[in-house]
Amino acid sequence: MIASAVVLAAIALLNLRLHESARIIAGSTLLLVLLMLLITGSGALRHELQGARMVALRRGRRLAAANAQVLASMSFERDLVLAQERARSARELHDGLGHRLTLTAMSLQFALKAKDKDAGQAWAEVDNASDTTAAAREVIRGWARAAGASADAVGAAVTVETIADAFRGAGLEVRVRHTGMEERMPEPVADFVARLVEEA
């Protein structure tokens, strides 16, 4: 605003009918005043820019700290979910095997008691124990295969196909259909996809 007033004053002075030397002095003076205003204004502008830069740097540091906190929290939560999933899986495996082993033991005990009275029934119970033991082995193999199909940071289709293969090896029919691009996934996303597919 001050610069505009000075420019208008300069135009007015130059339009006056002054002596040539007076006009040169007045013009030179006005140019010096304008130059001083520009220098002063650029210093203030530089000061404002430095202030804005400092504010941006402080905000950037706060944002980086907040992001680090979120990532640490995500890692902790992922580890907690994995630990809970392992505990649940261990309970299921324990309960399933415990049930089958109890059935096997009962069948063998009955076979021992019945061998002298009804040999056919005793051998049927031995066969039943054998079948139950074979089923228990398959359960263990299925869990081992599924546990081996962990998700590392690979493409979604590869991770899902690996898990599907593990379950196919346990005798299940599994089909995988993949559409879209094949990309590497960040580890937390790959873990989530793997757990989701395993549960499904």
* Tens of pLDDT, residues 118-177: 989 989 989 988 898 888 888 777 776 666 554 443 444 556 777 777 777 667 787 877
- What would the mean pLDDT of 53-78 be, rounded to a whole number? 85
The label of the residue with tokens 């944002």 reads 63
Instruction: Please state the three-class secondary structure of 69-105 as a single string.
Output: HHHHHHHHHHHHHHHHHHHHHHHHHHHHHHHHHHHHH
pLDDT at position 158: 54
Q: Which domain range does residue 42 map to?
A: 2-54
Same domain, 154 and 83: yes
Closest CA to 199 of 94, 100, 84: 84
State the sign of the Cα–Cα–Cα–Cα dihedral 56, 58, 61, 64.
Answer: negative
- Would you say the pTM of this structure is higher than 0.85? no
Same domain flag for 50 and 82: no
| Same structural domain, 118 and 147 | yes
Whether residue 68 is contained in a domain is answered as no
- Whats the size of the chain, residue-wise? 200
Within this chain, do residues 82 and 38 fall inside the same structural domain, yes or no? no
Domains contained in the chain, number: 2
| Residue 46 falls inside a structural domain | yes
Residues 96 and 132 both lie in one domain: yes
Mean pLDDT for the chain overall: 74
* 185 shares a domain with 91: yes
Tell whether 109 and 25 lie within a shared domain. Answer: no
Question: 173-193 pLDDT, tens per residue?
Answer: 878 777 776 666 677 777 777
As a whole number, mean pLDDT of residues 39-63 equals: 81
